[in-house]
């Protein structure tokens, strides 16, 4: 799908733009190590030191409409499960705080499968953020969200966009891309800044 892609990017918000089917999601999946590149490699560094896969995964938050949580688990149970899988000791208080931050306090004990698609997207965002990652990959973060939910994306990106953190947003939504310091566009299988 891509060839000869190489770039360095310091911590800040980076946008990946492109039309539907251009490869934005595939690129983000490769960056997040959900999908291996067919050739070449992706290297992540922290202060000039290469990150191994385990260290990278501990720093990564990933949210996308295709990332599924467990339908039968409640909002709180899903985040608690993720916390345990990451071998982190996030308290129920922290988990509940993030569920409230994304506007799901009223649905805290509701199963994921019973939530609307917009509510599910909000919980996906919470699942990527509650353990305070250093790298945040968001694929079409405003997907299925109402106006309040899209405002939440702005708040999240603004709060996350610090010199110590990196956020990459793949989107064709101009409002989401406006939050980015740099934007690469995927055009005919190549990246254009």
Q: What is the DSSP letter of 111?
A: B
Long-range contacts of 159-163 (CB under 8 A, 24+ apart): 160/13, 160/129, 160/136, 161/12, 161/13, 162/11, 163/11, 163/12
pLDDT in tens, 64-119: 999 999 999 999 999 999 998 887 776 888 999 999 999 999 999 999 999 999 99
- Give the distance from CA 96 to its chain's centroid: 19
pTM confidence score: 0.91
Q: What is the mean pLDDT of residues 13-25?
A: 91
Helix or strand (DSSP H, E) at 61? strand 60-63
Domains of the chain: 13-35+42-191 (3.40.50.300)
Residue 187 pLDDT: 82
Query: Is the distance from CB of 99 to CB of 79 less than 8 angstroms?
Result: yes
Rounded to the nearest integer, the mean pLDDT of the chain is 89
pLDDT in tens, 104-122: 999 999 999 999 999 999 9
């Amino acid at each position: 799908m891509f060839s000869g892609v190489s770039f360095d990017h310091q911590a800040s918000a980076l946008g990946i733009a492109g039309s539907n089917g251009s490869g934005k999601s595939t690129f983000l999946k490769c960056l997040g190590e959900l999908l291996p590149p067919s050739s070449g490699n992706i290297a992540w560094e922290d202060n000039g030191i290469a990150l191994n896969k385990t260290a990278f995964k501990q720093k990564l938050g990933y949210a996308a409409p295709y990332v599924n949580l467990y339908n039968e688990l409640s909002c709180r149970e899903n985040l608690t499960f993720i916390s345990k899988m990451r071998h982190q000791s996030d308290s129920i208080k922290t988990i509940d705080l993030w569920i409230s931050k994304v506007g799901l306090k009223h649905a805290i004990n509701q199963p994921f499968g019973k939530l609307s698609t917009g509510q599910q997207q909000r919980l996906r965002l919470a699942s990527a953020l509650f353990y305070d990652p250093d790298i945040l990959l968001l694929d079409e973060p405003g997907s299925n969200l109402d106006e309040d939910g899209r405002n939440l994306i702005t708040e999240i990106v603004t709060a996350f966009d610090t010199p110590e953190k990196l956020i990459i947003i793949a989107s064709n939504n101009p409002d989401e891309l406006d939050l980015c310091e740099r934007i690469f566009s995927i055009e005919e299988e190549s990246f254009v800044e």
